[in-house]
Amino acid sequence: MTQLETELHLLKKEVINMWDLVRSQLVKARSAMLNFDKDLAREVILKERRVNGSELKIDRDCENIFALLTPVAVDLRFVLAVLKINSNLERIGDIAEGIAKYVLSIEIPFHRPLLEETLVIRMYDESVNIFEDALTAFENEDTLLARSIFKKDEYLDDINLRANDLIEKYLNSHPQDLNQALYILSVIRKLERVGDQSKNISEEIIFYLEAKVLKHRHTH
């Protein structure tokens, strides 16, 4: 293995570790929300520092590879893609932290009918699935799986578009739950962004493996 190959191998491992950390943050924030677990929410907020630390380390490692090893072709595209994926992962970490903060802000558990009728649980599960698919696509260099994320993201977009109507319908019969409903609407908006960030990650995977830039192009 050349020094460049070794560094790229280590970089890929680092990104996968950060991905696992962010995934665990998302899953814990979901659990905190569903079970009204404030201790778990605090843990997510505390661990956000680790996510930020990982992002800075990966950025520095990418800069060192550029400066010292001058990668070209697919290796260059890989490092460029990692820089952007790293930023997307950090943003998803921020989203998980934001959801955890909502759990600390509410006085009583979210009402089950509110969670069910707004489809927020289904949306949360699907956003975690999409995020995991993006990781698998990255690990296995699978552009077919990366492309499937564009279609799956439409499901999240659809719930996001219907969110106002679903919340309004729920509040007609539960007007006392206005405060909780507004938090859930914010969670839905955040989960839609998890889908967008995962889609961005997929575009980067395709870019580095196929040398195709998909930004601002219809990918369906």
Each residue of 163-180: pLDDT tens digit? 999 999 999 999 999 999
Q: Are 214 and 150 in contact (CB under 8 A)?
A: no
Tokens of 34: 């569903």
State the average pLDDT for the chain.
Answer: 95
pLDDT band at 215 (very low <50, low <70, confident <90, very high): low
The Cα–Cα gap between 116 and 122 comes to 8
pLDDT band at 161 (very low <50, low <70, confident <90, very high): very high
- Output 166-172 pairs: Cβ under 8 A, ≥24 positions apart: 166/117, 166/118, 166/119, 167/118, 169/117, 170/113, 170/114, 170/117, 170/118
pLDDT at site 110? 96
For the chain, domain boundaries: 3-210
Give the pLDDT confidence of 2-55 residue by residue, as tens digits: 999 999 999 999 999 999 999 999 999 999 999 999 999 999 999 999 999 999
CATH no. of 3-210:
1.20.58.220
pLDDT band at 213 (very low <50, low <70, confident <90, very high): confident
Q: Are 213 and 207 in contact (CB under 8 A)?
A: yes
